[in-house]
Amino acid sequence: SQTIHQWPATLVQPVGSPLSLECTVEGTSNPNLYWYRQAAGRGLQLLFYSVGIGQISSEVPQNLSASRPQDRQFILSSKKLLLSDSGFYLCTGGRSYEQYFGPGTRLTVT
């Protein structure tokens, strides 16, 4: 079965600091991978998706970036965090309609 690992679970970072969230997949190869963000009290917003190594599509303009250096690794980054970057970040992925979910990272930018 597939498993998605995501860390850290919680993170508190000051404004202007860098960010790196990592998502890794077990149990499948060449999955489609997605980063979502959920701001407090709002729905999921698709940030990035990737269909393969080095292939990243961005859904919304922002100060975040994503990379996929390996088939099962998806990284969300920022050079300088903004207060508005606070939220719940969720990595999902899979190769079929059985999509799998990471546990999420709750980011608070102070």
Partner 1 sequence: SQQGEEDPQALSIQEGENATMNCSYKTSINNLQWYRQNSGRGLVHLILIRSNEREKHSGRLRVTLDTSKKSSSLLITASRAADTASYFCATYNNNDMRFGAGTRLTVKP
For partner 1, which stretch binds (CB under 8 A), given 12-20, 63-71, 75-83, 89-97? 89-97
Taking CB under 8 A as the rule, does residue 61 contact partner 1?
no
Taking CB under 8 A as the rule, does residue 104 contact partner 1?
yes
Rg over CA atoms, the chain: 13
Taking CB under 8 A as the rule, does residue 45 contact partner 1?
yes
Binding test (CB under 8 A) with partner 1, winner from 2, 11, 22, 44: 44
Distance between CA atoms of residues 26 and 8, nearest Å: 17
Taking CB under 8 A as the rule, does residue 69 contact partner 1?
no
Q: β-strand 87-94 against 105-109: which pairing, if any?
A: antiparallel
| Number of other CB atoms surrounding residue 104 within 10 Å | 18
Distance between CA atoms of residues 12 and 83, nearest Å: 11
Binding residues for partner 1, rule: CB under 8 A, are 32, 34, 36, 41-46, 51, 59, 88, 90, 92, 94-97, 99, 101-104, 106
